[in-house]
Structure 1
């Protein structure tokens, strides 16, 4: 499958950067760069042109800069089990603000490509715009009612993979991305994004 020309020729504009900055959540804690979102919002018009040039340079050189790969991790209690058990805590990664903006830009481009090319199954409800848990619950309920009417019973299997995102096989992920026609600069920046990520030890 050939990469979509728009995706392969992606050029980030100041307007795109400005829009993402304006939508930043100011209630969230700072990452390791200690730059608060509220500060960036106040100087968005001045910063956006500079950031767009830098992001385009990162894209052209397929380089997700090293200092953006370090996350500060805060353990948050799941409100169940013993507080002395580390498995009862959810690790929350706090990322550098400029990295989060760049990731959002790349994500928007990828979702646009996948949606336009109709590569996402209509059965996927997670991580999709204008879809929610209520939608999938409606679908499941309809299928259960249909099964009950037809056979007098209905069965469902629910799977929850422990630490799923932490256990993603990177090479397999990159192979899957290629199968969706995503190659060139975007694929290379994703490779760089996944490589040599760090969490400082306490």
Structure 2
């Protein structure tokens, strides 16, 4: 990843003015992102609440253990940045076993009650400039969320509990290669190349459409995502994930200044553990056609 954009970036606000100080720039980005993190709601009066869909009841409690948490902590990168709470990965790696046991009790309580801690739902956003874009526009910067490390540990735990149910229900499309183990860009390129070569050999036409979804992670509709997974996940996981998504907030950091907190009403955090999987689930039911090679790499489709 490129280093965060420095505070000397020349940006223009919506009024055409040039913010000068770090405070003005941070607030300019915060205003822009608050508008981005809004769902593209249906134009009709469609309501999810009228559609029958109920969460599954789990046969046994979904619990974790100190040994499972220790395994996740060992995988942390000590060089990663902390979130707004300043608790770094290195600090967590050095935790004594008694502290890990306390974390185990905390995580089990979160799973039991389906309540995600408010502090863990606050992200500190840094901006990375997008190559080849007009850097005077706030939209030309990619928001990266710095989340509390404790939240990332729990997200990994939550993902490990969700994965068996996703596989059991065949939720992840076989043609989606983004953010999946043993799947890569090279394999998708190879599949396209083979399709083109076969068309040449048979003297046939080979047409392709390539689509890169703009603001893909930022526009995920929370209610729509929750509806899609409600009858797949056990109620404990569903309630926890629902709490994870709702009432999230963000702050923007430019230089040494951090903006005021603002609401997130759509999207999954870029920089989170769960974000990529949640996006894949959200887009898994995109329609396909017969006799068409469907290839996906996260938000890129062909």
TM-score under structure 2 length normalisation? 0.61
- Superposed displacement of residue 158, structure 1: 1.3
Larger mean Cα displacement after TM superposition, 90-99 or 35-44: 35-44
Larger mean Cα displacement after TM superposition, 96-105 or 120-129: 120-129
Q: What is residue 66 of structure 1 aligned with on the other side? A: 118
Q: What is residue 240 of structure 2 aligned with on the other side? A: 189
Q: Secondary structure at the match of 1:59?
A: helix
Find out whether 1:30 has 2:104 as its counterpart. Answer: no
> Is the 8 Å Cα contact of residues 4 and 113 (structure 1) preserved in structure 2?
no
> 1:150-197: per-residue Cα shift (whole Å, max 9, x none)?
343311111111111111111111111124x21411110111001100
Q: Number of residues paired by the alignment?
A: 200
2: CA distance between counterparts of 1:84 and 1:188? 41
> Is the 8 Å Cα contact of residues 21 and 44 (structure 1) preserved in structure 2?
no
Match of 1:49 among 88, 98, 101: 101
- Superposed displacement of residue 74, structure 1: 0.4
Unaligned segments of structure 2, at least 5 residues: 1-53, 253-258, 260-302
Report the structure, 1 or 2, having the larger strand content. 2
> Is the 8 Å Cα contact of residues 55 and 235 (structure 2) preserved in structure 1?
no
Report the structure, 1 or 2, having the larger helix content. 1
Q: Secondary structure at the match of 2:211?
A: coil
2: CA distance between counterparts of 1:141 and 1:46? 54
Q: Please report the RMSD computed on the Cα atoms of aligned residues, expressed in angstroms.
A: 2.1
Q: What is residue 169 of structure 1 aligned with on the other side? A: 221
1: CA distance between counterparts of 2:57 and 2:73? 27
Match of 2:208 among 119, 143, 156: 156
1: CA distance between counterparts of 2:96 and 2:206? 54
1: CA distance between counterparts of 2:55 and 2:81? 40
2: CA distance between counterparts of 1:74 and 1:169? 23
Q: What is residue 136 of structure 1 aligned with on the other side? A: 188
Match of 2:154 among 84, 89, 102: 102
> 1:73-116: per-residue Cα shift (whole Å, max 9, x none)?
00112232333221221111000111111111111121232224
Larger mean Cα displacement after TM superposition, 86-95 or 45-54: 45-54
Distance change (3 Å), C-alpha of 1:147 and 1:44 = farther
